[in-house]
Structure 1
Amino acid sequence: MFDVFIGQHENKIDAKARLSIPADFRKVIDQGHQDREPGTPATFLLVFGDERTPYLEGMTLARLKKITKQIRRMPKSDPRRNQLEEAIYEKSQQLVLDDTGRIVLPARGRDKLGISANDTVVFAGRGDSFRLWKPDAHATATERPPADPAIDYDPDRDPMDYLDGDEDDEE
């Protein structure tokens, strides 16, 4: 099974703050929580972030486990570790999918995005995570940054040109 978040979806929040997770995203969440007890619902992590991020980020518990290993390898005195711990462990919440694939979007997340009942949310796949956006913020964020010769970035170039080597090299 393919275990990455792909695509873009729009869903509405209902009057009780419930939000349906797209079916293909639910499959990835389910696959990323394989060590749960049989018959129990899948859960995932929703990271609220801070003022630097205009979106919420969702990830599987399998991804959280990999990130935790990376954080633990960093010295406790490293300020980058402190920021990561704050973002991943403090400014996040584990959410449970109900039997219809919905979550109750926490008030903290709704407030951050500036949304309420009957508003639309954009789900944007990012491979090993997905982002939840207010539609107008997502439209603004998808504008291309300026060229950066230091890293050979040209916004007018086909992004597929940046991939190196043969696709069969991996795994």
Structure 2
Amino acid sequence: MARRFRGESQHKVDSKGRVSIPSFFRRVLEAGDPDWTEGLRPQLVIVYGDHRRKFLECYTIEAIDEVDDKISKLPRGSIERRMLERLFHGQSIPTEVDGDGRLVLPQKLREKIGLDKEAFFIASGDTFQIWHPETYEQEELAKTEAWLDELPEGVDPLSFLDGVGGA
């Protein structure tokens, strides 16, 4: 099983759109790039997607290859395949980590999510997301807290894993 991204952090974005990637995320990017070796820059794909996405989702090469494989299994010419190709192939940018451990986020992507001086990174398994810190707090953190508040008293969210995968 591939390594997973873990954790969250906030980093400054400079005027050229450069932002440091958390060092523990860089190790996962390296492990998830089959062509990476010491001295090379790990590759990744940033999916910015449709108008509903208020974040950038960063995929390791292995993770995006898995998505691509699933898309290619859909019937050629189907609306589902065409739309997923558009969202994951057309609305994405292949890139690499620079020599200083940073991503350079193009202006178009920064404008899409309203990113200016700070970026919030949060792990999401085999991907990580980049958010404007206030957007994340107002929308995603609020959703998580509301979901937890709706659980009956004493319910541990880990209990939802019982029985997953036929166990």
Provide TM-score, normalisation by structure 2: 0.86
Corresponding position of 1:45? 45
Query: Kindly tell me: are residues 154 and 73 of structure 1, through their superposed partners in 2, closer, same or farther at Cα, counting changes over 3 Å?
Result: farther
Shift of 1:158: 2.8
Q: Distance in 2 between matches of 1:161 and 1:73?
A: 33
Counterpart secondary structure, 1:68? helix
SS at match of 1:57: strand
Query: Out of 136, 139, 148, which is 2:137 matched to?
Result: 139
> Which residue identity is paired with 1:70?
K
CA-CA distance at 1:77 after TM superposition: 2.8
Aligned to 1:28: 28
Could you tell me whether the CA contact under 8 Å between 2:41 and 2:96 is conserved in 1? yes
Deviations 1:96-123 (A, max 9, x none): 111111121111110011122xx11110
Alpha-carbon distance between aligned partners in 2 of 1:20 and 1:46, rounded to the nearest angstrom: 15
- In structure 1, runs of 5+ residues without a counterpart are 148-152
CA contact (8 A) 2:49 2:92 kept: yes
Deviations 1:24-73 (A, max 9, x none): 10000011112246632111000011111111100100111111110111
Question: RMSD across aligned C-alpha pairs, in angstroms?
Answer: 2.4
Query: 1:144, 1:155 within 8 Å by CA — same for their partners in 2?
Result: no
Identical aligned residues as a percent: 31
Q: Distance in 2 between matches of 1:166 and 1:89?
A: 31
After TM superposition, give the deviation of residue 155 of structure 1 in Å: 3.3
Give unpaired runs (5+ residues) of structure 2.
none
Moved over 6 A (4+): none
Counterpart in the other structure of 1:158: 156
Cα separation, partners in 2 of 1:76 and 1:3, compared to 1, 3 Å = same
Q: How many angstroms apart in 2 are the aligned matches of 1:78 and 1:2?
A: 31
Aligned residues: 161
Say whether the 8 Å CA contact 2:20–2:102 is kept in structure 1: yes
Residues 158-167 or 100-109, more deviating: 158-167
Paired residue for 2:104?
104
Counterpart in the other structure of 2:60: 60
Is the 2:2–2:32 contact (alpha carbons within 8 Å) kept by the matching residues of 1?
no
Question: Does 2:125 match 1:130?
Answer: no
Query: How far apart in 2 are the matches of 1:110 and 1:166?
Result: 37
Question: Is this contact kept in 1: 2:42–2:96, CA < 8 A?
Answer: yes
The structure where helix makes up a greater share of residues is 2
Partner SS for 1:83: helix
Give me the whole-angstrom Cα distance separating, in 2, the residues matched to 1:66 and 1:155. 34
Shift of 1:164: 1.8
